[in-house]
Amino acid sequence: MEQRYLLGNEAIAHGCLESPVSFVSGYPGTPSSEVIEVLSSLPERSYYVEWSVNEKVALENALAAAWCGVRALCTMKHVGLNVASDPLMTSAYTGVTGGLVIMSADDPYAHSSQNEQDSRMYAKFARIPCLDPASIQEAHDMVRDAFALSEEFGLPVLFRPTTRICHSKGDVTLGPPFQNRRVGTFHRDPRQYVVIPAHTRILHKKLNEKQPRVKKRIAELGYNQYSVKGSRAVIASGIAASYVQEILPADISFMKIGAYPLDDAWLADFIRLHKEVLVIEELAPVLEEMVREVAGCVPVHGKMNGHAPYEGELSPEAVSRIMESAGFPFTMKFPVAAPVPDLPPRPPILCAGCMHRPVFYALRRVFKDGIYPSDIGCYTLGLQMGAVDTTICMGASIPVGSGMFHAGEERDIVCTIGDSTFLHTGIQGLLNAVYNDARMTVVILDNRITAMTGHQPNPTTGLTACGTPAPAVSLEALCRACGVSVVETVDPYDLVALMAALKEVKERPGVKVVIAKQYCVITARRAGIRRGRYSVEPEICTGCNVCVGFGCPAIERSDEKAIINDLCSGCAVCARLCPAGAIRKEASK
């Protein structure tokens, strides 16, 4: 037994080593990414690990591994589960022989996500077990139990930590890792693995027949517990249970839920001991609906009668407000503390030297009246430069553009999409746009890495998750294979060439692709690329503000002139922008 201070995702990765896992796949997504980052970076691995190109592919891979009898983990963020939902729903029918754990990390408050969906709904939808940890220690422990549970019932298990588990830290007691790797073998069984109607009807029935036994086993796992203390009770799920425990008076009963599906009779027995119950959980009222189904005439409080919010994340303070609203006492008084008003915000911004900035700058000038559908990545921050008009989900920029064109939009449509997002689900949109004769420009922001989630490699990088060389895909060849006849590749640091390429393709018919290719400034720095700094000659600077308006965090304004600070990475784009020629490379020291 070892005690360590770990990030939730590190503890989860360690739980996989203890299980032990044989196969790991996933697609990066905050807050899930560090699990595979840890597993792929360990020097000695007795398991296979990959970054897949998207979550559907990742889950299909992991499912097949589990069909072959090995323990498989598949990681993603909650919206990734939408992409993987096709194999998910039917994997419950085919089942697995090796344990299959699908980690879908939810993001209440959408810290870094496009929505606040609740993965527990998917588990209910697919009729598979779901584990919802309340602490990092529990997240670690649950991983091992999830694999065992999956193998016991031949069902995939959904493991659903939230941001405050994945990106929280705590002292965790770890067990020893195991090295005994199973070797997968596929045993042919068409009635199990070929889901033609005749087979799938039987498989569906078998899935439903498993449910009562699953509920019974879940109740025995120990993640759902209660203590009876009084005539009123709070029932809480996941991390919300930790917040409740912090402020719960000694005379209020408490039920903590960490695993689904629930045993109805067990739940009903607890509720019947009380005069009223309050349900506290983040996001959807998944637990509250179950409680209401079995509560009979015991009054139930929660989201559905207005005491708790459906959206956002909870905290001890937020839980106290829910308890106050429902007329429940709590032990801690939270002072009214408002932030200092009107401070200038400090949102995340594109880095100094980021290749995306000159692209958005150029788009706004070449396509003055353009419409800019964009996508999911660091470059969504192009919103701050007025060059992002839509973002909906991974890969949607190109279909949104072609949809607008066919709807009759006559202005120039310019989509922006990153390399990783293009390879995730962007290719199909491009293929469709060409096939159906849209007119638009697609700019692939190719920085050779999946940057936003922490610089994971992808097929453009030339490396696998574990750092072994892999053939780097040619985006040019891929676009041409989709039927695009105009494919131009430019270095976005070369603003003149970038503007010229955009002007050129603007006049052409059909779907045109410009690949703006330059390393992510963070990976370039880590790789040791030093371009040398630039500075402003104060005598030449006219104070025109053109460079300041570019929005680079390395450029400041001081005494009516521009100055360049220590963040400068030497991309030289501002030197090309300056109408007075006042920005020059510093002499190397």
198 versus 343: smaller Cβ distance to another protein: 343
203 phi-psi bin (left φ>0, alpha ψ -120 to 50, beta other): alpha
- DSSP codes of every residue in 194-253: ---HHHHHHHHHHHHHHHHHHHHHHHHHSSSEEE--SSEEEEEETHHHHHHHHH--TTSE
Look up tokens 């592919």; give the residue.
57
**Interaction pattern, residues 479-518, with another protein; x per rule: CB under 8 A:** ----------------------------------------
> Residue count at the site for another protein (CB under 8 A)?
55
- Report the relative pairing of strands 23-26 and 440-446 from DSSP bridges: unpaired
- In eight-state DSSP terms, residue 318 is H
User: Residue from 13, 142, 278, 351 that binds another protein (CB under 8 A)?
Assistant: 351
**Three-class secondary structure of residue 7 per DSSP:** strand
Positive or negative, the Cα torsion across 148, 150, 153, 157? positive
Query: What's the Cα-to-Cα distance from 10 to each of 141, 166, 406, 578, rounded to whole Å?
Result: 12, 8, 47, 46
User: Residue from 170, 175, 230, 285 that binds another protein (CB under 8 A)?
Assistant: 170
User: Residue from 386, 454, 462, 532 that binds another protein (CB under 8 A)?
Assistant: 454
Q: Is 338 in the site for another protein (CB under 8 A)?
A: yes
Distance in Å, CB of 446 to another protein, minimum: 19
Residues, the chain: 589
| Residue span binding another protein (CB under 8 A) among the ranges 229-237, 399-407, 449-457, 576-584 | 449-457
271 versus 552: smaller Cβ distance to another protein: 552
Residues 364-403 that bind another protein (CB under 8 A): 378, 381, 384
Query: What's the Cα-to-Cα distance from 526 to each of 39, 211, 519, rounded to whole Å?
Result: 21, 51, 11
Q: Is 551 in the site for another protein (CB under 8 A)?
A: yes
112 versus 474: smaller Cβ distance to another protein: 112
Q: Nearest Cα to 508, choosing from 413, 430, 584, 440?
A: 440
User: Residue from 556, 577, 580, 584 that binds another protein (CB under 8 A)?
Assistant: 556
Q: Is 171 in the site for another protein (CB under 8 A)?
A: yes
Look up tokens 């807050």; give the residue.
31
User: Residue from 194, 332, 496, 540 that binds another protein (CB under 8 A)?
Assistant: 332
Query: What's the Cα-to-Cα distance from 16 to each of 56, 64, 84, 486, 536, rounded to whole Å?
Result: 21, 18, 21, 47, 53
Q: Nearest Cα to 214, choosing from 141, 128, 280, 281?
A: 128
Q: Is 286 in the site for another protein (CB under 8 A)?
A: no
**Interaction pattern, residues 205-244, with another protein; x per rule: CB under 8 A:** ----------------------------------x--xx-
Q: Is 246 in the site for another protein (CB under 8 A)?
A: yes
| Residue span binding another protein (CB under 8 A) among the ranges 217-225, 261-269, 549-557, 571-579 | 549-557
Chain contacts with another protein (rule: CB under 8 A): 3-5, 30-31, 34, 111-112, 164, 167-171, 239, 242-243, 245-246, 315-317, 331-332, 334-340, 342-351, 378, 381, 384, 452-454, 548-549, 551-553, 555-557
